[in-house]
Amino acid sequence: MKQKAMKSQSLARANRQRRLSLLVFMGPFMIAFFVFTILPVIVSLVISLTNFNMLEFPQFVGLDNYAKLFLNDGVFATAVQNTFILALITGPIGYFLCFAFAWLINEIPPKPRAFLTLLFYAPALSGGFGAVWSLLFSNDSYGYFNAWLQEFGIITEPIRWTVDTDYMFAVCVIIILWQSLGTTFLTFIAGLQTVNKSLYEAGAVDGIRNRWQELYFITLPEMRGQLMFGAVMSISGTFGIDGVITAVFGMPTQEYKLHTIMHHLHDYANVRYEMGYACAIATILFIISVIANKLIQFVLNRIGK
């Protein structure tokens, strides 16, 4: 009897301790997360139902903003189309390149590896390099690409890379791909480092014949966490692309050729101060991203099974 009571008492204490440690471990993060991330998201969802213009007190307008977005805003339709095309091209290619480069770099010895990693990570190190592209792809003969092409006699007139609608898209894809090798790439590198090395030797015994099988049955499943992370990063990166386009092509871009959802959002939030409308755009973008994420999760969960 006494023993039982003691046992339940110590169990209760262990439980209390467990709860206390949970609180200490998760408390600081969760408080900051809810106050500075969840709360603003909820507030902006609410704002999307109003006509808030940052000066007057917001009025509730129901789903008017959404109705206007879909029925009355031709530019938004263009933006959605552009965003989808850009995301569908640069997203998968960028993701694949990140992994391919990380995987290959991981095969070489530590010292050249660190050097090459630095080269590949360089675009992400400084925010300022995006602007360098606008010098390289400058519309006049002082732009490097124009100057070189002219010197080799390929062209006589400088190509107006950033306003000629024939070239804008290709230039944009190159720059986005260049920029996309940052966060995801370095995460993959770290992920490859933590793959349990003994699994490879065990795999060789268990009949893994080539590097593709090794990749599919050992490396990828061991890196599932990083693959998911990379997917979320590339979704938020590709669907939310705007900064680098603005830096090179300006805003708005010629004939709205590279106008993305994020540009549209910026336009209404920071230029026209129609916050209600801007928040509605953000909500739509959010829904699109969530669906894309679900699809990718579905695919990634199948790997190595």
Query: From the CB of 62, what's the least distance to another protein, in Å?
Result: 19
CB contact at 8 A, 84 and 170 = no
User: Which amino acid, one-letter code, is at 213?
Assistant: Q
Q: Which is nearer to another protein, 64 or 214 (CB)?
A: 214
State yes or no: residue 209 binds another protein (CB under 8 A). yes
Tokens of 259: 């106008």
Under the criterion CB under 8 A, does residue 64 sit at the interface with another protein?
A: no
* CA pair distance 238, 245, nearest whole angstrom: 12
Exactly one of 217, 224, 251, 257 binds another protein (CB under 8 A); that residue is: 224
Minimum CB separation of residue 123 from another protein in Å reads 6
Joined tokens for residue 56:
């007057």
Residues 248-277 that bind another protein (CB under 8 A): 262, 265-266, 269-270, 275
Q: Which two tokens stand for residue 15?
A: 């439980």
Q: Which residue has the tokens 């400088």?
A: 158
Options 8, 40, 67, 92; binder of another protein; rule CB under 8 A: 40
Nearest-approach distance from CB 227 to another protein, in angstroms: 8
Question: Is there a cis peptide before residue 252, judged by omega within 30 degrees of 0?
Answer: yes
Chosen residue from 154, 193, 298, 302 binding another protein by CB under 8 A: 193
Give the per-residue contact string, 282-301, with another protein (x = CB under 8 A; - = no). Answer: xx-xx--xx--x--------
Binder of another protein out of 12, 38, 67, 77 (CB under 8 A): 38
Out of 170, 194, 255, 295, name the contact with another protein by CB under 8 A. 194
Q: What residues numbered 128-187 form the site for another protein, per CB under 8 A?
A: 128-129, 132-133, 135-136, 141-142, 144, 147-148, 150-151, 178, 181, 183, 186-187
CB 268 within 8 A of CB 48: no
> Min. distance of Cβ 164 from another protein in angstroms?
20
* Site for another protein, residues 89 to 118, rule: CB under 8 A: 101, 104-105, 107-110, 112-114, 116-118
**Cβ closest to another protein, residue 8 vs residue 142:** 142
Nearest residue (CB) to another protein, 7 versus 211: 211
- Other CB atoms within a 10 A radius of the CB of residue 41 amount to 13
Residue 204 or 255 having the CB closest to another protein: 204
- For residue 204, which amino acid is it? A
Spatial CA neighbour of 165 closest among 40, 259, 57, 303: 259
- Using CB under 8 A as the binding rule, whether residue 12 contacts another protein is answered as no
